[in-house]
C-alpha cells in the first residue's frame, strides 16, 4: 500500500497517494509494526509537503524521525531529515533547512546511502543559493551531480542544467564533504 502511494505521489496524484499511504499506516498500526508506521508517516509527510500542508507535514515528519531514532534506523532518519530539509526550504527557513540537510548528509555518508547523500547535497546547494552563497551552492551541486551520475538517477539532468546556467560544470568527484 505504501509503495502504491509513493508511485501515486511521484505522479502528482496527491489524494490517491494520501489515501493509500493512510491505509498502510492504519494497517501497520493495527499489526504493531513500528517500522512500517514510521515509513508510512514519513511518506504522508512528503505528500503533505507536496500539497503545501506544511504544519501537518512537519508533525508527521517529526514523529517519523522520533520513531526512526528510537529504532536506531539511520536510513529512515536520513530520508526523513532530507524531507524536513525540503519542508524548511519550502517555508523559507533556510538555516533550519541547512541543519536538516547537513544531519541527513552525515548519516547518509556513515551508512553509504548515495541517493540520500545526493539529496542532501542538492538541498544544501539550493539553501545556499537562496541565502546568496553561490560558491557553497556550486560545491554541493557538484557533489550531488557526481553521485546522481553514479546512480543513474533522473535528477542528473536537472543538476547539470543548474550548473550549466551558473557556468560551473563539475570538475571533481564527491568527497563526502560535510561543509555546510
Average pLDDT over residues 10-38: 90
With residues binned 3-state (H G I as helix, E B as strand, rest as coil), the percentages for the chain, rounded to 5, are 80, 0, 20
DSSP string for residues in 117-137: HHHHHHHHHHHHHHTT-HHHH
What would the pLDDT profile of 46-97 be if each residue is shown by its tens digit?
999 999 999 999 999 999 999 999 999 999 999 999 999 999 999 999 999 9
**Does the pLDDT value for residue 8 go beyond 70?**
no
Average pLDDT over residues 19-45: 95
pLDDT at 73: 98
pLDDT at 2: 64
- Averaged confidence pLDDT in the chain: 90
Distance of alpha carbon 163 from alpha carbon 57, whole angstroms: 30
Distance of alpha carbon 138 from alpha carbon 152, whole angstroms: 20
Average pLDDT over residues 106-123: 98
Q: Where are the domains of the chain?
A: 98-164
Amino acid at each position: 500500500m505504501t509503495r502504491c502511494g509513493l508511485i501515486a505521489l511521484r505522479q502528482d496524484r496527491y489524494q490517491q497517494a494520501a489515501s493509500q499511504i493512510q491505509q498502510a499506516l492504519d494497517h501497520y498500526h493495527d499489526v504493531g509494526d513500528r517500522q512500517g508506521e514510521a515509513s508510512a508517516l514519513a511518506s504522508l509527510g512528503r505528500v503533505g509537503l507536496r500539497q503545501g500542508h506544511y504544519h501537518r507535514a512537519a508533525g508527521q515528519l517529526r514523529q517519523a524521525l522520533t520513531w526512526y531514532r528510537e529504532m536506531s534506523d539511520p536510513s529512515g532518519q536520513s530520508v526523513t531529515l532530507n524531507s524536513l530539509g525540503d519542508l524548511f526550504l519550502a517555508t523559507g527557513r533556510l538555516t533550519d533547512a541547512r541543519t536538516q540537510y547537513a544531519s541527513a548528509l552525515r548519516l547518509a555518508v556513515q551508512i553509504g546511502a548515495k541517493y540520500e547523500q545526493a539529496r542532501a547535497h542538492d538541498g544544501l546547494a539550493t539553501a545556499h543559493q537562496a541565502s546568496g552563497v553561490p560558491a557553497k551552492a556550486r560545491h554541493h551541486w557538484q557533489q550531488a551531480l557526481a553521485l546522481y551520475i553514479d546512480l543513474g538517477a533522473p535528477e542528473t539532468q536537472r543538476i547539470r542544467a543548474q550548473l550549466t546556467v551558473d557556468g560551473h560544470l563539475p570538475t571533481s568527484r564527491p568527497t563526502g564533504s560535510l561543509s555546510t
